[in-house]
Structure 1
């Protein structure tokens, strides 16, 4: 039978001593040891003396016999036995036997009671030790169950946190891709503004196209700023998630270590090989928590992780709403700008067509004016000869002699004819000058029309080029960062 609290190894090391079985009394028969361990009911035999006194017989040294020390009965020699009296009486002998029997009975009763008490004590202590060991084992089992519960909670929370963190990182990548996708339309809008600065003259107008382009650039920049702020918030939340993840992983690692240690302690038996004495270990208290604070620590870690996951979910929703709203707003402004471009291109084309039609009319008028000038010049040249004839006639008639210089009807007619032809020439020359002025005005208008047509053609070319650049716009999945 093996006693609780001892090990197989300890039983092999030497004589086992137990508090239940003290060392036996020494069996020496010397005076000191014998008297220090006499049983109850015994008298000290050293104080007992027989009732018959004896005389010490002195034997001279010459007889060759040995002297006894004082206080000790003399040695009885065979040759002297017949001459000595008996040392004890029968009564003393019976009394000594009775005393011896009573003492033995008392010692036997004491030993019996001691053995019975010792058996009961051993049974009680064995039961107590077994019960304490079972209680400790049950407490260890309960502790392992508690650790398993919190381990499962931590593992579940850690998995959820890792999923939310991964989803948040995916959302961050979507925001970054969406911000990168906005660079293309923003660059195109800026290039359109740059190319439209190359318009000339009156076509450098602050029209709806330019207003929409400026607003589109501002919208793109605002959308990029919104996405950048969301990405920054996600970075901060990812840092918080990593801290919560580290706390959960550290707590889970500690729980795993504690579970391994407690399970190892739970599986220890009295026959295990790894048990040993560690004196004073029960006096050292290195604990840093109690069950309430121990459970609260894991609960706080899980609550912190849940709070981080809630914030992550809110950020993901905000990012989703931000991506959809920005993509929709960008698309609306892109469509609005394209409509303004189409309207402007139509207006420029219409103005250009009208100018070209007007230029054709101007060219026709110039042609007709040039014909009129040519006819006027011919008419003026045609009037020179009649004027010469009339003036020649008048000059010839001035040579009439004396009284023949009469202001007669031919004279009046010739004078009237000269004045009339001269007035006609002046009128025709004035009209010819007017025709020249009109022709010059028409040529000037022609130049202006041609310049305006070139300006309109340049503006039309620029807007058409801008529209060619704006034919492609990122799709909605690209704007919200899916591709």
Structure 2
């Protein structure tokens, strides 16, 4: 594993003595966007301008001149001095002096060779002096020493490079593992978003389907208002229909609240998906970079010199923070996904339980309507039977009235007979013969009894006619009541049944 990269503040302190972070604080890195620079960075450009360097000029030496590193006939005795430009052997290639020149690494490099001590002629004479053999044994010893040092140096380099390669292999394995974990979390989140979107569509369809049972319940209540006056009662069926409308309203409220929660959770899911996708993209890029570095060798044709690359970058993070970020990224994604799964369970529970409650309430309403219809049918049958009995009673009373009239006619004949007898005896017997004999008393008693009988029969006749009038009135009431009950049966048994046959089932809500 690679060592954690120190921040710019850490470079100003000793990493082995001074603490890297304060206790109780998080080591968070702040990344800059492309084209931005931090405060304190060098804002000044180098004096070097492309095109400043001129092509080399070939020097001309006299014929039969010695090699260039040996004294030449054209050497001057006063020495040749080089001018100091923006690029020279004493400078790093550009002058980058800034007000922060007191910091190490920003002042132009100036060492003991920055001032010319010798001329080129003196240098060549020195070369001639040095080329004169003087230390052969020292040269052989130096050759052996250098070869030994080179062997040790290359052995150390090979060992160091092998260790670095092993570290890169370990790093690639770690990156591949975390990339796989992030990819697994990303796929799970994608599937969760797709599933939640499907469940949201089901909930919206359930909200639309919910309009049907509410319309059916309200239409049933409206139809029941068309019953006739005696049957306009707040019976159990009416109560259950009102409760059905209330339950539909409560279910709609729950559906709307759940839909609002789903919309909010969908926004969280998309944000978590974008975050985990960004992490996955970063890990893919890093994995490709480390895999490419792992397969590079000194014989690779893609390697170049990169001056200044052996330094910690400003946006580098520590290994501990990297591992913490990987775990937290996946954990945050899993937490959002778990909340979404719980909400989906609540959503389906609301749909299923709501549809089941509506089905139970519909069964209760149908049961109450069935009981009302059964009671109304029984009452209607009883009323029809009572009407039939009433009609039979009316017929019997009418026969009785006819019999009373016949009896009155017979009594009237007897009354005529007794009256005629008395008339004949009262006005046709002469003088003393018109006496109050027993026959006269008998005729008088008969006349009185006939009169009383006529009065009694007339009273009976009036009573019979009054009873017949009451029976006729009762007959009209029974007929109106039967018509009312048949109207109620037509509404509750026929029209409500056809309307309530379209009530949606729980399966239609679940598969909406």
Provide TM-score, normalisation by structure 2: 0.66
Of 373, 380, 383, 2:401 maps to 373
Residue 477 (1) aligns with residue 507 (2): yes
Q: Secondary structure at the match of 2:317?
A: coil
Does the CA-based 8 Å contact 1:219-1:330 persist in structure 2? yes
Task: Confirm or deny that 1:207 pairs with 2:251.
Answer: no
Q: Which residue of 2 aligns with 1:428?
A: 457
User: How far apart in 2 are the matches of 1:279 and 1:226?
Assistant: 66
Q: Which residue of structure 1 aligns with residue 340 of structure 2?
A: 312
Superposed CA offset, 1:42-86 (max 9, x none): 9xxxxxxxxxxxxxxxxxxxxxxxxxxxxxxxxxxxxxxxxxxxx
Q: Is the 8 A contact 1:373 1:432 kept in 2?
A: yes
Report the counterpart of residue 27 of structure 1 in structure 2.
71
2:497 to 467, 479, 483: 467
Cα distance, 1:430 vs structure 2 = 1.1
Distance in 1 separating the partners of 2:292 and 2:195: 39
Q: 2:315, 2:498 → 1: CA distance?
A: 76
2:179 equivalent in structure 1? 151
Structure 1 residue 135 displacement after superposition = 5.7
Distance 1:26 1:281 in 2: 40
- Residue by residue over 1:274-302, the C-alpha shift from the partner in whole angstroms, topping out at 9 and shown as x without a partner, is 55555556678342533222332222210
The answer as to 2:230 corresponding to 1:230 is: no
Q: Provide the secondary structure at the position in 2 that maps to 1:199.
A: coil
| Contact kept? 1:341, 1:467, Cα under 8 Å | no
Shift of 1:449: 1.1
The yes-or-no answer on 1:340 pairing with 2:368 is yes
The answer to whether the 8 A contact 1:151-1:255 is kept is: yes
Measured in 2, the distance between the counterparts of 1:418 and 1:430 equals: 18
CA contact (8 A) 2:70 2:125 kept: no
Query: For 2:443 and 2:389, how far apart are their aligned partners in 1?
Result: 45
CA RMSD, Structure 1 to Structure 2 (Å): 3.8
Q: Match of 1:445?
A: 474
Which sits farther off after the overlay, 125-134 or 231-240?
A: 125-134
Rate the CA distance shift 1:122–1:26 in 2: closer, same or farther, 3 A.
farther
Match of 1:350 in 2: 378
Instruction: Kindly indicate whether residue 336 of structure 2 is the aligned counterpart of residue 292 of structure 1.
Output: no
Count of residue pairs the alignment pairs up? 402
CA distance in 2 between partners of 1:477 and 1:295 (Å)? 48
Identify which range, 122-131 or 318-327, moves more after superposition: 122-131
Q: Decide which structure has the larger Cα Rg and report it.
A: 1
Paired position in structure 2 for 1:419: 448
Q: Is the 8 A contact 1:39 1:107 kept in 2?
A: no
Gaps of 5+ in 1: 1-12, 15-23, 43-99
Relative to 1, partners in 2 of residues 1:103 and 1:217: Cα closer, same or farther, differing over 3 Å?
closer
The superposition leaves residues 92-122 of structure 1 with CA deviations (integer Å, 9 ceiling, x where unpaired) of: xxxxxxxx9x994546677667767766676
Aligned-residue offset at 1:307: 0.9
Instruction: Tell me how far apart the structure 2 counterparts of residues 114 and 164 of structure 1 sit (CA, whole Å).
Output: 73
Unmatched 5+ stretches in structure 2: 1-54, 57-67, 79-118
Higher helix share: 1
Instruction: Give the Cα separation in 1 of the matches to 2:480 and 2:354.
Output: 43
- Normalised by the length of structure 1, the TM-score is 0.70
Give the whole-Å Cα distance in 2 for the aligned partners of 1:35 and 1:324. 103
Partner in structure 2 of residue 256 of structure 1: 284
1: CA distance, partners of 2:315 / 2:290: 15
Q: Distance in 2 between matches of 1:372 and 1:129?
A: 141
In structure 1, the partner of 2:111 is none
Displacement, 1:375? Answer: 1.9
For residues 394-405 of structure 1, the aligned pairs below 5 Å read: 394-395=422-423, 397-398=426-427
Alpha-carbon distance, 1:434 to partner? 0.6
Distance 1:333 1:419 in 2: 77
